[in-house]
Structures are given as C-alpha cells and as structure tokens.
Amino acid sequence: MFFKENGNFRLIIMTTNTLLFPFVRVVGQEKMKKALLLNIIDPGIGGVLIKGEKGTAKSTSVRSLAQILPERPTVVGCPFHCDPRYPKRMCMQCQEKVNAGIQLESKMMPMSVIELPLSATEDRVSGTLDLEHVLKTGEKKFEPGVLAQANGNVLYVDEVNLLDDHIIDLLLDSAAMGVNYIEREGVSFSHPAKFILVGSMNPEEGSLRPQLLDRFGLCVDIEGEKDVNVRMEVIERRMEFDRNPEKYLEDCGSDIEAMRSKIVAARELLPEVVMDKKIVHDIVMTSIHFNMEGHRADITMMRAAKANAALEGRKEVTKEDLRTIAPLVLAHRLKKRAFDNVTFDEKELDLCLGM
C-alpha cells in the first residue's frame, strides 16, 4: 500500500499491486457490486452510498475495485492527471500548451482508489493557494489536494456520515460539476476534478441529511448473510486468502482480467445504448409513483439503466434494466418522517412497471 505523507494528512492510494481480497471473490452482496460497476461504466451516475452493518465487506469491496479498474491515458507530469482525449476538461496549464501547439506526452495509467481520511481539513481536500507567492510574483501557486489526485479516479470515504457536512458538500459539488474551485482572499483557481465518489457508513453511527442523500446517485442497504452455507463460504474464502494472499490472487487472476475486460467493453458500448420513449415514460411514471422530488432521480435512472444494459452487452434498455436499478436509485430518496422506517417495496415497483 502506498502512503503519501503531507504534514498531518495522509493520502491512501489503492493500486492493483495491493494485496487486497479480490472483488471477484466477494460472496453475495450483488446489489453493492452492481452499483459500483455501474458507476465505473458511467461516472455520470453520481456515485454510490453503501449503508450497512459492520463486517459486510463494504470497505473490502470498494478498496479491491483497484484490481479491476481499467487503464486510461494521462498527460505526463500533470498534477491533475488530465486525460488528453478531452481537451476541454484539461487544466489551464495543459490547455495553454495545446493552444501553443505543444504536443502533450501521455501514458496509460490504471485508475486508482483514493481514500479520504475523516480527519482531512477543507484545505487538504480542495488544495491551497500560496497567497504570499501571488503577491510577490503575480503568479498563482497551487498546492494540490485530494480532489486533484482524485481526478479520473475513484474517491472513497469510509464512515462518510461522520465527515463534517461542509466537507461532504465540497465533495458532492466537485463530483457533480467535475471541477474544483478554490478562492482565497480574492484570488481564485480551478482545476478538473471528475471522479467517482463512493461513501460507506454504518447507520448505527448516525445518518446523513436527506439533502446529502439525494446527491448520491445510487444507494445500497446491505446486511450480513443469514444462509448457513453462504456464511461458511465467506469464512472459507477468507481463510484461504489469509493463508497465501499472493497465490489466491494469482489463482483468480483470469477472473480479475475478465471482469476488467467486461468493464472496458461496457464503457465502449455505452454510447451506442438506446432507450425508446416507452422506457423513458416508464422512468417518469415510476418517479411520479414514488413521489420523487425534482428530476435527479429520473436522470439517474436513465443513466443507470443504460449502464446496466451496456454491462450485460446489450444496446437497448429494457424494463428488466429498470427493475434492476430502480431500487438503487429510489430507495434513499423516499420521503420519510421523523422516526419512520420506510423501505422500498419491490412488489410495488413491479406493479408500476407492469411486470
């Protein structure tokens, strides 16, 4: 595991070389794995919040994503890891080089899982401007933070419900806009910050405000397995991994590569996936039926349904896609009164979709 120390701040980057229990060997928790994969295929879905009791493979699944994340081109030497395929999304320095006719050198790098510690301050998250340098030279000097490192990657916040609300707002705003804005004493700076935000939490330790819940594209509520055979399988796989992690990872190497290839294929297929007006109508009627406010749920359902079709190798969205993704999109957006325990009724969804 690679640690980058910066004062009292710790940045954790999960790479494919880290000996983590493999994502492809996590038993059960299919909805959680589906939500994570859909966000990798289409980061525009808006991230995922994983809620569940301790010991249900939340952190293990997210951190081990690094093993199956695809590679992407990045500009060599750019602190923001700009993608040369999208010039309009690049930082000012890279854009200036392009405008000056300078050929940008690029290389392929695997996406990473970057973990944000709960102790992180706003400056450490967004980065800092050296005002003294600005006053002396007239040039902006920026010290990159977590959002700079997260650009083009997965940003993971464990126990996100314990993070200060203003930090969560900052993360969600940056994830939604794809840009991080910093302003200090009238001096401003911006850089690309397009990342997949993943949060996990144990509801027993507190909850998130409804306004923040709505900003996460998908949400999954998970529980520990109750089936005896499944629980035995969980224990046996973990014991085998602990005995010899290197061999265990080597043995499932073909499955890891197959999953990575499946993700790459789905991302390439996604622009070709179509959705007819009947499916759009079903999405809108489903949102109305479950009393969704605004249009965020509708748009998220559309994107998630297309990503699910692409994941399954199809170019057309079906009602089955809606049935698969609707609970992930709608459950955390249901209106609740104080002390109510509202659960999403999938039978009601079937009736709404006519299935």
Residue 72 and residue 222 in contact, taking contact as beta carbons nearer than 8 Å? no
The length of the chain is 355
Residue 18 and residue 66 in contact, taking contact as beta carbons nearer than 8 Å? yes
How many Å apart are CA 306 and CA 321, to the nearest integer?
Answer: 8
- Residue 22 sits at φ, ψ, to 5 deg, of -70, 140
- Residue 135 sits at φ, ψ, to 5 deg, of -65, -35
Burial zone of 236 (CB within 10 Å; 0-12 exposed, 13-18 middle, 19+ buried): exposed
Count Cα neighbours of 224 within 13 Å in the Cβ-side half-sphere: 10
Count Cα neighbours of 17 within 13 Å in the Cβ-side half-sphere: 3
Candidates 296, 314, 323, 337; catalytic one: 296
Residue 85 has which token pair? 């395929």
User: What is the chain's Cα-based Rg?
Assistant: 21
How many Å apart are CA 44 and CA 257, to the nearest integer?
Answer: 24
How many Å apart are CA 169 and CA 175, to the nearest integer?
Answer: 10
Residue 223 has which token pair? 């529980």
Q: Give the H/E segment covering residue 107.
A: strand 106-110
Catalytic residue flag (residue 10): no
Could you give the C-alpha distances from 40 to 24, 171, 178, 266, 298, in angstroms and in order?
15, 18, 15, 10, 20
Residue 102 and residue 73 in contact, taking contact as beta carbons nearer than 8 Å? no
Helices (H), 290-345: 296-311, 319-330
How many Å apart are CA 254 and CA 209, to the nearest integer?
Answer: 42
Among all residues, which ones are annotated catalytic?
Answer: 296
